[in-house]
Amino acid sequence: MNDGADMLAEILAGGEVVVLSGAGLSTESGIPDYRGPSGARRRHTPMTYQTFTGDPAARRRYWARSHAGWHAMARARPNTGHHAVARLQHAGLLAGVVTQNVDGLHQAGGARDVIELHGSLHRVTCLDCGDATSREDLDRRLRQANPRFGALVTAVNPDGDVELPDEEIEAFRTVTCRACGGGMLKPDVVFFGETVPADRVAACFALVERARLLLVLGSSLTVMSGRRFVLRAAKLGIPVAIVNQGPTRGDDYADLTVDAPLGAVLTRTADLLPPSAALTAR
What is the DSSP pairing of strand 213-217 with strand 185-189? unpaired
Q: Is 0.85 topped by the overall pTM?
A: yes
Verify whether residue 90 is a known catalytic residue: no
Which is it for the CA torsion 238, 250, 82, 266, positive or negative?
Answer: negative
CATH classification code of 1-31+77-118+195-282:
3.40.50.1220
89 is in an annotated binding site: no
Q: Where are the domains of the chain?
A: 1-31+77-118+195-282, 44-75+121-189
pLDDT value of position 3: 76
Query: In this predicted model, what pLDDT tens digit does every residue of 3-20 receive, in sequence order?
Result: 799 999 999 999 999 999
Per-residue pLDDT of the chain (282 residues; tens, 9 = 90+): 567 999 999 999 999 999 999 999 999 998 876 655 544 444 456 789 999 999 999 999 999 989 988 887 888 999 999 999 999 999 999 999 999 999 999 999 999 999 999 999 999 999 999 999 999 999 999 999 999 887 655 555 555 566 676 788 899 999 999 999 999 999 999 998 899 999 999 999 999 999 999 999 999 999 999 999 999 999 999 999 999 999 999 999 999 999 999 999 999 999 998 755 544 433
pLDDT value of position 149: 85
100 is in an annotated binding site: yes
157 is in an annotated binding site: no
CB atoms within 10 A of CB 143: 11
pLDDT value of position 275: 59
244 is in an annotated binding site: yes
Q: Residue 252 carries which side chain, given as an amino acid letter?
A: D
The CATH number corresponding to 44-75+121-189 among 3.40.1350.10, 3.40.50.410, 3.40.50.10860, 3.30.1600.10 equals: 3.30.1600.10
Between helix 224-235 and helix 198-210 the angle, nearest 10°, is 30
144 is in an annotated binding site: no
**Which position among 67, 83, 90, 118 bears the catalytic label?**
118
Percent of the chain surpassing pLDDT 70: 87
pLDDT value of position 280: 41
**Cβ(200)–Cβ(2) under 8 Å?**
no
| CA 217/CA 241 separation, integer angstroms | 9
**Cβ(72)–Cβ(89) under 8 Å?**
no
